[in-house]
Structure 1
C-alpha cells in the first residue's frame, strides 16, 4: 500500500483530506526524515491497519532503519506518556503532578536518531493523542533545537491529516 492507495480509498466527501495528504507529503519545510518519520509515528499512533500499511509502504525507501524504529518508538512511548501526563494535568488534585511518574522512558534520551527529529515525531503523536502537557514540553524542546514555528506546525498538520484519514477510512469500513 501507499499514500496514493489511501487517497483513492477516501470517499468524495473527504476530498480535502486527499488534497492535504498529497500536499503534506510534498512539503519541503521539513527534512525527508522529519516529514516521513512524523507520518509513520502518526500512523502507528492511530493504529489502524490501512493507515499503518499505507504510510509504511510509502516511507519504506525514504527512512533509514534507525528512523523507522525511532518513529515507532515515539508512537509507543507517547502512547504511554500522553495518557499519563494528560491524566495528571486534568486531575484537580495537584499532588499527582508532584509525584514521580515511575515509568521507563529511556528511548527519549537515546532515540537512535537526531534528538530534534525524535522530539518532532513525539510532538506529532502527542497531537494525535491530545496531550497538551506533552505538546508544550515537546514544543519547548524543539525550540531549543532551533526549529521554527512553521516546522513545528507542519508536524501538527501531518498529525491532523493522518488522524482524519484514519477516522474516515475506519468509519467507512463499518458501512
Structure 2
C-alpha cells in the first residue's frame, strides 16, 4: 500500500486527515530523515498494519538502512519504556521511582543515526503512548540537541496525524465487519 492508497482508504468524513497527512510529511524545519523516521516510528506505535505498511514502503525510499532501523528501534524501545515510565507517573507509591528499571536500553546509546533524529523518533512514539515522563525527557534532549520548538511541534503533528489515520482505518474495518455480520 502506498501513501496515496492510504489516503484513498480514508472515508469521506476523514478528509482533514488526508489533507493533514500531505502537509505534515512536508514539515518545514525537519529533514527528510527526521520526517520519515518519525512517521515510521509513529506508524509502528499506532499498531495498524495498513498504515505501517504504507509508511514503511515510502520510508524505504527516503531513508538509509540505518535510519529505517533506528525508527523501528525507537518504536520498539519506547513501547517498553513508555509502559514502564508511565507506570511510575501513575502510581502514587514513590518507592518504585527509587528502584532501578533494570531494562536493557543499549540501543538508545548508539541508535545508528544522529542523536537528535533518534530523539525525535522517540518523542513521536512517546506522545502516541502518552508517557509524560518520556515526552518530557525526549523533548528536553531534542531542545538540548539544537532543535527548535517548531521542530518538536512538527514531530508531534506527524505522530498525531499518523495515529489518527490508524485509528480511523481500524474503526472503519471494525464497523464494516459489524455491518456485514448484522446483515447476515
> Normalized against structure 1, the TM-score is what?
0.98
1:26 and 1:105 mapped to 2: Cα distance? 31
1:155 and 1:39 mapped to 2: Cα distance? 8
Shift of 1:28: 2.5
Q: Which residue in 2 is equivalent to 1:144? A: 144
Task: Look at both structures and tell me which one has the larger radius of gyration over its CA atoms.
Answer: 2
**After the TM superposition, which residues 18-167 of structure 1 pair with which residues of structure 2 at under 5 Å, given as runs?**
18-167=18-167
Unaligned runs of 5+ in 1: none
Count of aligned pairs:
175
Runs of 4 or more above 3 Å deviation = none
Q: Which residue in 1 is equivalent to 2:180? A: none
Unaligned runs of 5+ in 2: 177-184
> Normalized against structure 2, the TM-score is what?
0.94
| Residue aligned with 1:103, SS | coil
Shift of 1:130: 0.5
1:20 and 1:8 mapped to 2: Cα distance? 14
| Residue aligned with 2:51, SS | helix
